[in-house]
Amino acid sequence: MSNDFLEISNVNKKSLDELVSLVEELVINKVRIEKIKSEFSDNTHIKILDQELRIISEIQASIKKVKLIKIKTIANSLTDLFNQCCIENNVKADFIFEGQETEIDNSLTIYIKNILLYLIKDICDNEFVNLKNGSNQIKVSAYSDGRNLTTVIQSNGIGFNYEDTCKKLNKENLDLLSFSGDEIKEFFKIINFTNNIEDFIKLKLDLIYLDGSLKFESKANEFRRITIVIPLSSSIMQGILVTIGDQTFAIPLDFIETIINKNAVKIKTSHNTEMIIYMDHIIQLVRVSELLNIETVLEPTCILIVKSNNKRVALLVDSLLDQTDMVIKPKHSIMMDIVEIKGTTILGDGLVTLVLDIPSILKEI
Amino acid sequence: MQILTFLLRGEQFAIDITLVDTIQNKMPITPVPKSKKYVIGLISNRGSVIPIINTSLILNGKDTTNTFEKFIIINLGNEKLALAVNDIDDVLEIEQKTIENINNEEDFSIVKVNSNIITLLTYKQLQKI
């Protein structure tokens, strides 16, 4: 208790957010300072700039830790809900929460809390109905290895038959990321989860973008296990800058499988669709300029093969510019209906660059 | 109450000064494909990305994209917007009772200042964007 007291100090969330965005600005300027540094030849300038750069790096590292909070802050509300659900359903059950010391980003805790609240409610409503002998339990364990946060929700109870469910849905496994929205709805109907289908579909889309995973496992009358893996460094990623017309766009590197010269492959047209043959695969070709209604006069030179959710598409762009680190900012509400764009990022030159939303482009095609 | 007046095609318009965050000079704009007609593009300001609204298109239905010299950045709830205008004019002190609503709706207000009629851009009208 005394330790907790010493660790906690009151910080205004708004000023903290402002501080973080200021640091982001510093980080954006870092690239520019590095460029300026290379132009100097005398030692005094270089020394000062080096020092500034080091300070920026240190501020960047420590601001990351400031926003981290321990996951146990959400444990109370989860326990409360669990107890309430148990009373409602008139069952006796235990709630175990492991890994409460795990530190994650503040914004992520609310996200995880919502998912867990729904799951616990669903499990309480369905899982324990037929079991009233007191051995019921839900075990939530969260752990992070620095790159991913893994949350496992395991419960014993009626469960469901894993193989039969797979067969019914015509799937090899219950990795929800490969499911379509309707398939998720069907799956949830089978396992009687009713509370949060829409949220789950949203979670699925988020996880596809972040390259996480969402899996269900179960054995009838024994257990049910849900594993959610969320990658942590979500807003900072590497991207490839491409030009289309007179505009620059960024594509997250994680989705790019390979980049090829347009002249190295033949483009064939069939059923009014252009396609290329690459490594014995037939891949649909999409002209990004047509997709985004951008006029371009130059002949496109580059093909990027992008992959998401086991679907491949070749994107034809005018040219490649650079590879860069970027901080993705969510798009403004005024642009919400533009599905092709995931967000924006500010590059070293201070210009705003749009980030393409590869999973949703692939979905649209 | 204080209002900031600005010019669009020679006409005077005004906005409540409490809504205004900063005024920015013309800077490079990133156009947004497939966006709404009145969105000119995006700029970055103090680390945040702000969409620019073609104020002329909203207020009098005419397009004057090429002559925008200043951006008025306004706070709208949790988000920011930038209004593209030809030039900033003045800051005026007016009395609340000189504001008149047309058709008894709060969307369209005008103020009379020294026998000049100025269209006042209200929070409600901006929220519709």
Q: Tell whether A311 and A330 lie within a shared domain.
A: yes
Residue A67 pLDDT more than 60?
Answer: yes
Q: Tell me how close the Cα of A210 comes to any Cα of chain B, in angstroms.
A: 22
Same domain, A245 and A341: yes
The percentage of residues in chain A with a pLDDT greater than 70, rounded to a whole number, is 92
Instruction: Identify the CATH number of the domain in which residue A76 sits.
Output: 3.30.565.10
- Residue A266 scores a pLDDT above 80: yes
Q: Please state the rounded mean pLDDT for residues A155-171.
A: 78
Name the residue facing A352 among B43, B46, B81 (closest C-beta).
Answer: B43
Contacts of A115 (CB under 8 A, 6+ apart): A151, A196, A199, A203, A228
Same domain, A103 and A180: yes
The closest CB to that of A21, out of B34, B39, B48, belongs to: B48
Query: How far is the alpha carbon of B8 from chain A, nearest alpha carbon, in Å?
Result: 23
Give how far A354 is from chain B: nearest CA, Å: 8
Q: Tokens for A124?
A: 């309480």
Taking an 8 Å cut-off on Cβ atoms, the answer to whether B49 and A344 are in contact is yes
CB contact B128 to A (< 8 Å)? no
Q: Do B47 and A346 touch (CB under 8 A)?
A: yes
Give the range of the structural domain holding residue B50, as residue numbers without chain letter.
Answer: 2-127
Indicate if A270 and A129 belong to the same structural domain: no
Do A190 and A84 fall within a single domain? yes
Helices (H), A145-231: 162-169, 181-190, 197-210
Contact A351 B49 (CB under 8 A): no
A28 interfaces chain B, CB cutoff of 8 Å? yes
| Residue B33 touches chain A, beta carbons under 8 Å | yes
Kindly state whether residues A10 and A75 are assigned to the same domain: no
Query: How far is the C-alpha of A306 from the C-alpha of A250, rounded, in Å?
Result: 13
Number of structural domains chain B divides into: 1
Q: Pick out chain B residues at pLDDT < 70.
A: 60-61, 63-66, 102-108, 129
A308 - beta bridge partners? A311
Q: How confident is the model at residue A133 (pLDDT cuts 50, 70, 90)?
A: low
B-chain residue closest to A19, CA distance: B47
Please return the burial class of A167, using the count of CB atoms within 10 Å of its CB with bins 0-12, 13-18 and 19+: exposed
CB contact under 8 A, B49 and A346: yes
- B-chain residues near A332 (CB < 8 A): 42, 49-51, 79
Domain boundary among A21, A36, A66: A66
Boundaries of domain holding A334: 236-364
Give the pLDDT confidence score for residue A1 in this predicted structure. Answer: 47
Interface test with B, best of A327, A334, A354 (most B CBs within 10 A): A334
Question: Does any CB of chain B come closer than 8 Å to the CB of residue A329?
Answer: yes
The interface predicted TM-score (ipTM) is 0.81
Are residue A164 and residue A97 in the same domain, yes or no? yes
User: Is there a single domain that holds both residue A313 and residue A338?
Assistant: yes
- In the three-class reduction of DSSP (H, G, I as helix; E, B as strand; rest coil), residue B31 is classed as coil
Task: Check CB contact of A65 with chain B, cutoff 8 Å.
Answer: no
> What number of residues does chain A have?
365
Residue B107 is given by DSSP the state T
Q: What tokens appear for A140 in the block?
A: 């939530």
Judge whether B117 is closer than 8 Å to chain A, CB to CB.
no
Residue A275 is encoded by which pair of tokens? Answer: 């396609």
Is the per-residue pLDDT at A222 higher than 80?
Answer: no
Under a CB-based contact definition with an 8 Å cutoff, are residues A37 and A56 in contact?
A: no
Place of tokens 């709404």: B36
- Within this chain, do residues A14 and A118 fall inside the same structural domain, yes or no? no
Residue of B nearest to A339 (CA): B34
Which of residues A20, A39, A66 is at a domain's end?
A66
| pLDDT score for A35 | 75
Last residue of a domain, one of A231, A248, A278: A231
Average pLDDT over residues A154-161: 77
pLDDT digits (tens, 9 = 90+) for A79-119: 888 888 888 877 777 888 888 888 777 777 777 888 888 88
pLDDT digits (tens, 9 = 90+) for A36-47: 888 888 888 888
Give Cα separations from A235 to A26, A32, A192, A231 (angstroms).
16, 20, 34, 10
If asked whether residues A187 and A249 sit together in one domain, one would say no
CATH number of the structural domain spanning residue A319: 2.30.30.40
Q: Is A334 an interface residue toward B (CB < 8 Å)?
A: yes
Q: What is the mean pLDDT of residues A265-285?
A: 85
Query: CB A335 to CB B35 under 8 A?
Result: yes
Positive/negative CA dihedral, B15, B20, B22, B28: negative
Task: Report the domain count for chain A.
Answer: 3
Looking at the fold, whether A129 and A34 belong to one and the same domain comes out as no
**Band of residue A249 on the pLDDT scale cut at 50, 70, 90:** very high
Residues A76 and A61 both lie in one domain: no
Average pLDDT value over all residues in chain A = 80
pLDDT at A11 over 60: yes
> Which CATH number fits the domain that encloses residue B82?
2.40.50.180
B31 and A341 in contact by Cβ < 8 A? no
Q: What is the pLDDT of residues B117-128, one digit of tens each?
A: 888 877 777 777
From chain B, the residues in CB contact with A346 under 8 A are 44, 47, 49
